[in-house]
Amino acid sequence: MKALFRKVGSYEKLSQLAALEIKKKIQGGNPIKLGLPTGDTPIGMYKELVKDSNIDWWNVTTFNLDEYIGIDINHSESYKNFMNRNLFNHIDIDKFNVWFPDQTDDYDAMIQAVGGLDLTILGIGANGHIAFNEPGSPFNSTTRVVDLDKQTIEDNARFFNSIEEVPTQAVTMGLETIMKSHEILLIAKGKKKLDIIQKAMFGEITEEVPASILQEHDNLTILYCE
């Protein structure tokens, strides 16, 4: 494992640093492929990216980590809508370079066809999920349909009017897909995430804690704030 754990003083700082990692990649001038998350944690990072009108998005292709099944794509909480609202509607990215997993694509082949992911940003679920690879997900999993964990459904209920509205399935990038990314940046905020980060980074590498596979990645940074 070659991991860097960085605790920063504020969510604003975390968001700025995460955005900076993305900007550095884009400014390199080469075509860049990013793996992108939704959820609470990356919202500040997306705000920072939107603020910077100097970023040239033309050479950037994005692959979102996951998408719900069972809600309309136009539902305000679909991940496509989340991304449009928080990032894509505000930047000059070619919409043909924006991808979400769905049940019909061979997402892994698409990612491979463009040369693989250069940088993937991850959040982490309280149960150790990354993307929607819930506990028990095989380490060699690729993009597929999954059932969401009870805890994930409960955690995500905050985005819906009621828990009954939360989708119970999603399409997610697999753990193997994520591990193939050249660089990974995991962002997490709140003391409630500290236990699972510790377990994932220093505990046993086990499919019961999907994020523990990240210990085997050789270019991993974790940015954390309380």
Active site residues: 66, 127, 129, 134
**Least CB distance from residue 56 to ligand F6R, whole Å?**
25
Binding residues for ligand F6R, rule CB under 6 A, total 13
For residue 82, give every residue at least 6 positions away whose Cβ sits within 8 Å of its Cβ, in sequence order, or none.
38
Query: Which range, of 54-62, 86-94, 129-137, 141-149, touches ligand F6R by CB under 6 A?
Result: 129-137
CA–CA distances in Å: residue 225 to residues 15, 56, 137 = 10, 29, 27
Cα–chain center distance at 68: 14
Q: Which is nearer to ligand F6R, 31 or 167 (CB)?
A: 167
Q: Which is nearer to ligand F6R, 32 or 178 (CB)?
A: 178
Residue 125 touches ligand F6R, criterion: CB under 6 A = yes
**Which of 35, 44, 101, 123 touches ligand F6R by CB under 6 A?**
123
CA–CA distances in Å: residue 20 to residues 14, 16, 45, 131 = 10, 6, 9, 22
Query: Which range, of 13-21, 33-41, 47-55, 135-143, touches ligand F6R by CB under 6 A?
Result: 33-41
Residue 37 touches ligand F6R, criterion: CB under 6 A = yes
**Which of 131, 175, 201, 211 touches ligand F6R by CB under 6 A?**
131
Query: Which range, of 4-12, 13-21, 117-125, 177-185, touches ligand F6R by CB under 6 A?
Result: 117-125
Judge contact between 133 and 172, C-beta under 8 A. Answer: yes
Residue 101 touches ligand F6R, criterion: CB under 6 A = no
Residue 195 touches ligand F6R, criterion: CB under 6 A = no
Residue 65 touches ligand F6R, criterion: CB under 6 A = yes
Helix (H, G, I), strand (E, B) or coil at 186: strand
Comparing CA positions, the residue from 35, 204, 18 lying closest to residue 131 is: 35
Residue 177 touches ligand F6R, criterion: CB under 6 A = no
User: Where is 6: in which H helix or E strand?
Assistant: strand 3-7
For residue 18, give every residue at least 6 positions away whose Cβ sits within 8 Å of its Cβ, in sequence order, or none.
42, 44, 45, 48, 121, 185, 187, 223
Q: In the complex, which residues of this chain contact ligand F6R (CB under 6 A)?
A: 37-41, 65-66, 123-125, 129-131
